[in-house]
């Protein structure tokens, strides 16, 4: 019976770190980690390492970068790996790697597959108003999140949870599920089952237009958009010539016959296609997140102000 495995871990953002930590703590042999290369930060222009790179280096693990993956295939072959574990890596694996390890490539995906295959499953689940989501451990194939399912864990989406909150929960739950699943799979206690053909949806990446608030939509839909994009990249609107990020909000019942996108009360209640949105926290350009109450104390936004369109 396998009690530990020889693994290559592939992952990049904060979401991936709990999984790598669990696998290290479980005693698995991880000779190499692959992640995205360091990137230049938007502010300060400093080069920033990916969280996985920083964590791997602190634990004395060799790091190679995804943009050199094809150049390192022979090196990976030489390691005689039991498994490649992929968690929010950010690159498509070359075909020759899919079946390279003894037990294949195992992926932790942040949805209940086949719902929300693709790049932004957490944001899209919140945007859609889903009541539940979760994590799936699957055996990778050449398709986009189409591999057979090894295990799942379901998480309720609280009506107040935002992207950052849910991402943290799923990263922790996913790490635990991954740790348990890979040994069970290697020891044939559980097997991979093909995904069903029904219930397939795709979580396309977040585009700039997804960030723009359309006040003609229902308040509940706008609130889901705000939660899905909070705190970053943020759902945005334009008030008094400034592009504002809406960080936290709530629905307010309102049936006034007034133009959508109009401030109808303070601190900052805005009419929507039906009902209204009360903005509780927002972020002005170059400033910290503040409550709307504090913001309007120093920045007058009067009743009747029209929200402008972002060009």
The pLDDT score that the predictor gives to residue 40 is: 83
Q: Rounded distance, CA 59 to CA 50, Å?
A: 15
The pLDDT score that the predictor gives to residue 44 is: 63
Q: Which domains does the chain have, with CATH numbers?
A: 6-203 (3.40.50.170), 208-298 (3.10.25.10)
Angle at 225 between CA 223 and CA 229, to 5 degrees: 120
User: Phi/psi at 49 (nearest 5 deg)?
Assistant: -75, 150
Q: pLDDT for 193-205, tens place per residue?
A: 999 999 999 999 9
The pLDDT score that the predictor gives to residue 41 is: 78
The pLDDT score that the predictor gives to residue 18 is: 98
- CA neighbor of 231 nearest in space, from 162, 133, 277: 162
Per-residue burial over 274-309, b if 16 or more Cβ lie within 10 Å, else e, is: bbbbbbbbbbbeeeeebbbeebbeeeebeeebebee
Q: Rounded distance, CA 175 to CA 191, Å?
A: 19
Q: Rounded distance, CA 81 to CA 69, Å?
A: 15
Record the pTM. 0.95
Q: Which parts of the chain have pLDDT scores under 50?
A: none
160 burial (CB, 10 Å; 0-12 / 13-18 / 19+) is exposed
């Amino acid at each position: 019976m396998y009690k530990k495995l020889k693994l290559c871990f592939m992952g990049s953002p904060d979401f991936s770190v709990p999984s790598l930590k669990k696998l290290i703590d479980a005693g698995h042999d991880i000779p190499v980690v692959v992640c995205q290369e360091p990137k230049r930060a938007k502010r300060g222009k400093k080069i920033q390492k990916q969280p996985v790179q920083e964590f791997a280096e602190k634990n004395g693990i060799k790091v190679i970068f995804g943009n050199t993956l094809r150049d390192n295939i022979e090196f990976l072959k030489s390691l005689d790996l039991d498994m490649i574990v992929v968690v929010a890596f950010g690159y498509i694996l070359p075909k020759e790697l899919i079946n390279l390890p003894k037990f294949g490539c195992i992926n932790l995906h942040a949805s209940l597959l086949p719902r929300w295959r693709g790049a932004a499953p957490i944001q899209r689940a919140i945007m859609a108003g889903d009541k539940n989501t979760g994590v799936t451990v699957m055996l990778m194939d050449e398709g986009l999140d189409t591999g057979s399912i090894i295990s799942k864990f379901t998480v309720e989406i609280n009506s107040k949870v935002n992207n950052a909150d849910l991402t943290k929960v799923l990263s922790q739950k996913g790490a635990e599920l991954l740790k348990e699943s890979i040994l069970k799979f290697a020891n044939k206690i559980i097997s991979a089952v093909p995904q069903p053909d029904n219930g397939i949806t795709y979580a396309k990446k977040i585009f700039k237009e997804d960030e723009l608030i359309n006040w003609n939509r229902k308040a509940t839909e706008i609130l889901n958009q705000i939660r899905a994009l909070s705190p970053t990249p943020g759902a945005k609107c334009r008030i008094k010539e400034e592009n504002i990020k809406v960080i936290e909000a709530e629905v307010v019942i309102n049936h006034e016959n007034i133009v959508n996108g109009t401030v109808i009360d303070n601190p900052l209640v805005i009419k929507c296609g039906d009902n209204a949105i009360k903005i509780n926290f927002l972020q002005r350009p170059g400033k910290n997140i503040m409550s709307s109450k504090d913001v309007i104390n120093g920045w007058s936004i009067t009743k009747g102000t029209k929200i402008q369109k972002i060009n």
